[in-house]
Amino acid sequence: MTDPLRIGVLGCAEIARRRMLPAIAAQPGLRLTAIASRDPERAKPLAAQYGCRATDYRALVESPDVDAVYVPLPIALHAEWVAAALDAGKHVLAEKPLTADPAATAALQRRAEERELVLRENVMFVHHPVHEQVRRLVADGAIGELRMFSAAFAIPALPADNIRHRPELGGGALLDVGYYPVRAALHFLGPELTVTGAALHRGAGSAVETSGAAVLTTPGGVLAQLAFGMDHAYRNSYELWGSTGRIRVERAFTPPADQPPTVLLERGGNTEQPLFAAADQVAETLAAFTRAVAEGATAADELTHRQSELLYRLRAAATPTA
């Protein structure tokens, strides 16, 4: 029996408290050893809840009883603390995007490879089996030849003091909710996407963009239409549109672990709802990270860097609107 992977959590962010910490505690093969905060006193109640110790950032990444570090810090702090963890010999699972700059992302990936360490972005939705099942439907000709892909992720308005409104921390709709439609396009259309057009809109009183849209294309001429925002009615879906039908997936990026995914297949004038099993994509993500460490899968993830390039080019190509 192999020893569990000992993991520390670098920060007490909402996603850590709400989703990742419960999943880490329940995951076979993982053992939570420490939770860090800039002020360790702030981490003590959370650490006590999970039966581990509270500490500060530097002590956690240098701790001898930590094999891997989960980094849910704001985007602007990722490069510094992912590098620190890698330099201390720790595997890293970092919230997405890894950084806001393709060169910085590539540098971190090289750093991990040189040290033979696993570095992964916490892109949970790609680990839900429904997306591979949808890919198989498309490959088997269920909707004919693929013509267009569309995806949207938007959330209701956030409080003005939310960190997503702070540009110095990497806030803004593009890197937060926009990440998902772009990654979904990469997942289904491959890495050779180019940005054809984009727009970013800054809502009244915000220092960052609060919504945006983009058109991407493949070398074969398949179009991807993407939309995202953080001042909207909730939407979370993608659609693949072919020559003879289409497939739509609802709650595509954050499906409940205990509910079967909603997939609609329209063809021949009929609408079908294929039955797919429920799955816990958070647990699946942690299992994939644990396997990568156990198997020594330290090669850089090509799509992580390609994602960072597309987000950078989308921003550079975007027409600002007010």
* Mean pLDDT, range 296-320, rounded to an integer: 95
**In terms of Cα–Cα distance, which of 60, 5, 55 is closest to 31?**
5
What is the spatial distance between Cα 199 and Cα 316, in angstroms, rounded to a whole number? 10
Contact at 8 Å (CB) between 98 and 108? yes
SS3 for 7? Answer: strand
Output the DSSP codes for 264-279.
EEEETTEEE-------
Mean pLDDT of all residues belonging to the chain: 96
Please give the sequence-ordered ranges of beta strands (E in DSSP) within 81-183, or none if there are none: 91-94, 119-121, 146-154
* Mean pLDDT, range 95-116, rounded to an integer: 97
Give residue for tokens 């569309």.
150
* Residues sharing a CB contact under 8 Å with residue 22, sequence separation 6 or more, in sequence order: none
* Mean pLDDT, range 164-171, rounded to an integer: 93
SS3 for 17? Answer: helix
Please determine, for residue 321, whether its predicted confidence score (pLDDT) is greater than 80. no
What is the spatial distance between Cα 235 and Cα 229, in angstroms, rounded to a whole number? 9
- Domains of the chain, with CATH numbers? 5-122 (3.40.50.720), 125-282+310-321 (3.30.360.10)
What is the spatial distance between Cα 219 and Cα 294, in angstroms, rounded to a whole number? 37
Contact at 8 Å (CB) between 114 and 300? no
Q: Phi-psi category of 82—alpha, beta or left, where left has phi over 0 and alpha has psi -120 to 50?
A: alpha
Please determine, for residue 126, whether its predicted confidence score (pLDDT) is greater than 80. yes
Which value, in Å, is the radius of gyration of the alpha carbons in the chain?
20
Please determine, for residue 1, whether its predicted confidence score (pLDDT) is greater than 60. no
Confidence bin at 147 (pLDDT 50/70/90): very high
Q: DSSP assignment, residue 226?
A: E
Please give the structure tokens belonging to residue 308. Answer: 């960072």
Which helix (H) or strand (E) segment is 251 a member of?
none
What is the spatial distance between Cα 14 and Cα 83, in angstroms, rounded to a whole number? 23
The pLDDT assigned to 279 comes to 97
The number of angstroms, rounded, from the C-alpha of 217 to the middle of its chain's C-alpha atoms is: 22
Confidence bin at 2 (pLDDT 50/70/90): confident
What is the spatial distance between Cα 247 and Cα 238, in angstroms, rounded to a whole number? 8
Strands of the 211-217 sheet, one edge to the other: 270-272, 262-267, 245-250, 235-242, 146-154, 223-229, 211-217, 194-201, 318-321
Contact at 8 Å (CB) between 82 and 98? yes
Q: Tally DSSP H helices, then E strands, for the chain.
A: 11, 15
Neighbours of 112 (CB within 10 A): 22
**Percentage of the chain exceeding pLDDT 90:** 93
Which residue numbers are catalytic?
Answer: 96
Task: Please say whether the dihedral angle defined by the alpha carbons of residues 9, 14, 18 and 19, taken in this order, is positive or negative.
Answer: negative
Helix/strand/coil (H/E/C) assignment for every residue in 111-128:
HHHHCCCCEEECCCHHHC
pLDDT, tens digit, 9 for 90 and up, residues 180-237: 999 999 999 999 999 999 999 998 888 999 999 999 999 999 999 999 999 999 999 9
**Percentage of the chain exceeding pLDDT 70:** 99
Confidence bin at 322 (pLDDT 50/70/90): low
What is the spatial distance between Cα 292 and Cα 308, in angstroms, rounded to a whole number? 22
What is the spatial distance between Cα 68 and Cα 81, in angstroms, rounded to a whole number? 13
